[in-house]
Amino acid sequence: MVDTVKNMVSRMDPQQVRPNKPHTGGSVSPAVNSAATSAASSVELKQSVIKDLASQPPINLEAVNNIKNAIAKGEYPVNLDRVSDALMDAFRDLKS
């Protein structure tokens, strides 16, 4: 998922995302200016959120530590049927 976010940020061109500018040929109501300003700030906010998410690892460290502890204690359940099925599926995909 983070790879998707990182790829999305790297593909984004800040020049393509521009706030709407009012036409110079006439008067524009304050509501339109307000909407354009709001849309521009919304785009900037979304870009900053995407950058923040892309800079952080997509790992829940608490869950990872719980799994590590369970494995160390021998209490982590492993469904051998699911593991073997997944390995066979991967092998078949390689053969195709």
Question: Could you give the CA distance from residue 45 to residue 39 in angstroms, rounded to a whole number?
Answer: 10
Same domain, 91 and 54: no
Calculate the dihedral angle through the C-alpha atoms of 77, 81, 84, 85, rounding to the nearest 10 degrees: -130
Same domain, 11 and 48: yes
Same domain, 37 and 73: no
| Per-residue model confidence as pLDDT tens digits over 65-91 | 999 999 999 999 999 999 999 999 999
Same domain, 67 and 25: no
What pTM value is reported for the model? 0.34
Same domain, 25 and 5: yes
Mean pLDDT of 24-36: 59
What per-residue confidence (pLDDT) applies to 1? 45
Reduce the DSSP state of residue 23 to 3 states and report it.
coil
What per-residue confidence (pLDDT) applies to 88? 96
Nearest CA among 19, 17, 20, 21 for reference residue 47: 17
Question: What is the number of domains present in the chain?
Answer: 2
Domain range for residue 51?
1-58
* Amino acid at position 91, single letter: F
